[in-house]
Amino acid sequence: MDWDISRLEDLEHYIWRCTACGTCRVAYDFGPPATCRPICPAGTEFGFEGNMSSKGKIAFARGILDGSLEFDEALLNDIYRCTICGGCQSQCQLDHKPFIPEIMEAMRRKAVEAGAGPLPLHKNLTRSLKSYNNPYQGPRRLRTDWTRPFKKAGRPIKDIMKQPAPVLFYVGCTGAFNQQARAIPTATASLFHKLGLDFGILGENELCCGSTAMRLGDAEEFKRLATQNLELFKKLHQEQGVATIVTSCAGCYRAIKKDYILSSAYDEMMDGVRVIHTAQFLYELHQEGKLPLEGGLEMKITYHDPCHIGRHLNKFEVDADGSQLWKGAYLGVSEAECLYEQPRELLKAIPGVEFVEMERNRANSFCCGGGGGVMTGFGEWAAKNAGLRIQEGLETGAAAMASTCPFCHYNLSQGAQRIASDMKVYDLVELLDQVVPAK
C-alpha cells in the first residue's frame, strides 16, 4: 500500500504563496454587524508573530527550507505549539490556503525525520502507539472496560470479530481509555441499543486510527496503523458484513475520512464501506423520523464545533493543471462535508433546549486548544485556552456546552474547572441518550 504524504519540500511552492499579510490572524466577518475575535490559540497565548496563525508557521517553514533555521529546542517547541485547528486556514484567501495544516504537519514530519521531533512528552505517545497500539499506554484488555455495565445489564455489545453486524462502532482510544471521555462511547452504545441497531465493536482488537501519530509528524507510525485498519475494515466488510463504520470520535473520523485517502488502496479497501460520524448518523435517523425524542431537558445550551468534524472537512478546489486560472490556484471551498448544522439541528430538536450560538462558530470556531498534540505537550496551556472558550460560552448565557469530540469534551471540562465555571460540558450523544426512550 503506497501513501502520498507530502514532504515539506513538496509544499515549497505553496509556502511561497503566503504574503504574510496577516489576514489569517482574526476570525473576521463583515456582517453587518462586523464581528472580530482572535482565531489562533497559539497566537492568543504566546503572541510573537512566529506563533501567530499560518503567517507565523509559514515563516518557520521558509526558514527551515532556506537553511536559516535549525531544529533547536525553541523552534521545536513553537512548531508544536499549534493545535492544527485550521482556524487561520478559514481566513486565508491565497493559494496556499488548502495546504496550511499540511504545511504545519510537514514541518513536524521533517523534524521527526531529522530525529529532533516530536517533543519528549509526545514521544511517550508515539512509543505507546508502537507498544500498545494506542497513545494512552493502555493494555488492550482495558479497551472494553466501558462495556461492563452493558454486560452486567444483560445487554452485551457484540464483538464484531466474532459476530457479524452491518454497523461497526469504532470507539477510538480516547473514548476507551480516558475515564472522563468514557461517557461518550457509553452513551453512544446506549443510544444504539435503544434504537435497536445491529452493531458491534472491535473491543480488544481495535487499533488506534493513527491520528495522533499523523498530527505529531510520525508518518511511519501513522502508515502502520492506518494500513492495518484499512485491511481490517476490508476484512470486516467481506467477512462480517460491515457496511457502515460509525464513530463518535472527531479525530478518528477525520483520520479515516481525510488521512486514509492518502493511501493508494483507499478506494479498494473501503469499497462498500461508509464511514460516518455519530452526529451525522443520528441526524439522518432524525430526518427519517427514526430518532424518537421524549421528555425534555430544560437547558440553555451552546455548541462548540470541533475542528476535526468542522473546518477540517472542507473540500478545496484547486486548479491542479492550470486550466482555469493557473497551476495550483485556489479556486474555492465547499463546506458540504463539514458537520456544522447536524449537531445544531439535533440539539434544537431536544424538547426544552434553548440553543444559543457563540460568536465564533462553524468555520470561525475557536479551537478548544486540545488538538495537534497540545494537550499532551502543553497541558496547562491547553486547559487555559479551553477556559477562554468556556468563557465565550458563558457570555451567551448558556449553562451547558455541547460538543461532538472526546478530546474537546475532556479539554473543555478541564477549562471549565480551571476558571471555576459551572458550565456543564456534554457530548451530543450524552444529551440525546437522556431523551431517546428505551424500546
Partner 1 sequence: MDTATAKKMDPFLAELAGIVGPSNASDAKHIRYAYSYDLSFVQPKLPDYVVMAETVEQVQEVLRLANREKIPVVPYTAGTNIGGLTIPERGGILLDLKKMNKIIDIDVADGVAVIEPGVSHAQLAAALGPLGLRFGWPVGPPSASVSSCCISHGIGGMNARYGLQSQEITSMEVVLPTGELVRAGSCAIQKDAWHSVLPLPQLDGLFKGWLGTTGVVTKLGINVHPAPPILKIFTVSCNTTQDMYAYMFNLSNYEICDDITAVSWWLSQVPIPYPYIPKPADAAEWNSYATTFSWSEKERDARVEIWEKVVAEEQKKGSSLAVTHYPEEALRGRTQLPSQVVGSTKNYCKMGGAGISWPGTFTPAKKWAPVYTRWKEILIGHKLSPSVRMSMYRGVHYGMLRAMIPFNKQNPAETENARRAIVECLRVDLDEGGIPYKPPVDFAKEINLRADPGYLMLLKRVKQMLDPNDIMNPGKLGF
Residues engaged in binding partner 1 (CB under 8 A): 12-13, 16-23, 25-26, 28, 30-36, 46-50, 52, 55-56, 59-60, 62-63, 68-69, 72-75, 77-78, 91-95, 325-326, 329-330
Q: Is the peptide bond before 118 cis (omega within 30 degrees of 0)?
A: yes
Measured from the CB atom, the residue of 330 and 407 that comes closer to partner 1 is 330
Q: Least separation, in Å, of the C-beta of 25 and partner 1? A: 4
The two counts, helices (H) then strands (E), for the chain are: 20, 13
Give the residue with the Cβ less far from partner 1, 330 or 426: 330
For the CB of residue 91, give the shortest distance to partner 1 in the complex, in Å: 6
Q: Could you tell me the three cell numbers for 238?
A: 467481506
Query: How many angstroms separate the CA atoms of 350 and 82, rounded?
Result: 35
What does DSSP assign to residue 160? T
- Cβ proximity to partner 1: between 67 and 154 the closer is 67
CB of residue 18 to partner 1, shortest distance in Å: 6
Amino acid at the residue 2 = D
Q: Least distance from C-beta 363 to partner 1, angstroms? A: 12
User: Is the Cβ of residue 63 or residue 138 nearer to partner 1 in the bound state?
Assistant: 63
The one-letter code for the residue type at 337 is: E
Closest distance to partner 1 from the beta carbon of 419 (Å): 20
Q: Are 222 and 213 in contact (CB under 8 A)?
A: yes
| Identity of the residue, 153 or 331, whose beta carbon is nearer to partner 1 in the bound complex | 331
Closest to partner 1 by CB, 77 vs 131, is 77
Q: If you ran DSSP here, which 8-state letter would residue 201 be given?
A: E
**CA 267/CA 265 separation, integer angstroms:** 6
DSSP assignment letter at 154: T
Q: Are 39 and 26 in contact (CB under 8 A)?
A: yes
Q: What's the min distance (Å) between Cβ of 70 and partner 1?
A: 8
Q: Would you report the helix, strand and coil content of the chain in percent, each value rounded to 5?
A: 50, 15, 35
Report the C-alpha gap between 105 and 348 in whole angstroms: 36
Shortest separation between residue 368's beta carbon and partner 1, angstroms: 22
In the complex with partner 1, the residue whose CB is nearer, 28 or 150, is 28
CB of 385 within 8 A of CB of 41?
A: yes
In the complex, least distance from residue 317 CB atom to partner 1, rounded to whole angstroms: 14
Q: How far is the CB of 51 from partner 1 (least distance, A)?
A: 8
Query: What nine digits make up the cell of 311?
Result: 473546518
C-alpha–C-alpha distance, residues 143 and 213, integer Å? 19
**Nearest CB to partner 1, comparing residues 264 and 334:** 334
CA 362 and chain centroid, separation: 14
Provide the 10 A C-beta neighbour count for residue 312.
Answer: 22
Using a 10 angstrom Cβ sphere, with 0-12 exposed, 13-18 middle and 19 or more buried, the burial of residue 328 is middle
Q: What distance in Å separates the CA atoms of residue 299 and residue 152, rounded to the nearest whole number?
A: 32
Nearer to partner 1 by C-beta: 93 or 287?
Answer: 93
